[in-house]
Chains A and B, each alone.
Chain A
Amino acid sequence: EDQVTQSPEALRLQEGESSSLNCSYTVSGLRGLFWYRQDPGKGPEFLFTLYSAGEEKEKERLKATLTKKESFLHITAPKPEDSATYLCAVPVRTDMRFGAGTRLTVKP
């Protein structure tokens, strides 16, 4: 069955403390892996799409990477404004299959 699993469920960092979030997937015929940021009470906001193993994309303090079985979202020197839930998702037929997300808290 097509599944997306994210870890950890929650992550607390000090400002400036770099870390990585994991997204593993079991999807046949991957058509892309998507990362979103979601703030409380809001809809997901698109961050990145990765299409092939070895691909990397960066945006400010975030860098997303993709292998054949998982993706990582690396956060370098995070700031409190990076606190949010980070979701990964893969398209399956007409569905965007989401993981449960990693809730990131960055303390000043």
Chain B
Amino acid sequence: ETGVTQSPTHLIKTRGQQVTLRCSSQSGHNTVSWYQQALGQGPQFIFQYYREEENGRGNFPPRFSGLQFPNYSSELNVNALELDDSALYLCASSPGTSGIKGVETQYFGPGTRLLVL
């Protein structure tokens, strides 16, 4: 086990709704990254947070937003859900610093499966 937990495990929403996904990192892991994994594809980087500040962002619209808290937990919020948002959402935490070091030593959680109808 990686010590990274995510909740909920599964979620069903309808188009236009908003969703919040949660991640709990290992103690001491100051960097957390979020990924979207569509069926049959590799994970795609959404953004990275380091010490509660967004530190990098992939090619995702602003309706994808995040928060990181001092207790090593974090959230991914998605507004105005679209059908294409249906995917496995993964968080990954790292004891490394931000940037490249933040992704080289990351540990993934089990993911949240989101279905948008």
A-side residues, CB < 8 A to B, are 4, 6, 31-32, 34, 41-46, 49, 87, 89, 91, 93-101
Contacts and interface: CB of A to CB of B under 8 A. Distances in A.
Interface of B: 2, 4, 33, 35, 40-45, 48, 55-56, 58, 88, 90, 92, 98-100, 102-104, 106-111, 113
Given A31-B104, A93-B100, A96-B106, A43 B41 contact: no
A5 to B, nearest CB: 10
Nearest to B101: A91
A99 B110 contact: no
A46 B110 contact: no
A89 B56 contact: no
B56 A49 contact: no
A13 B108 CA distance: 28
A44 B88 CA distance: 12
A11 B47 CA distance: 32
A91 B100 contact: yes
B56 A93 contact: yes
Contacts of B88: 41
13 contacts: A4-B42, A6-B42, A34-B104, A43-B2, A43-B4, A46-B107, A91-B104, A94-B98, A94-B100, A95-B48, A96-B35, A98-B42, A100-B42
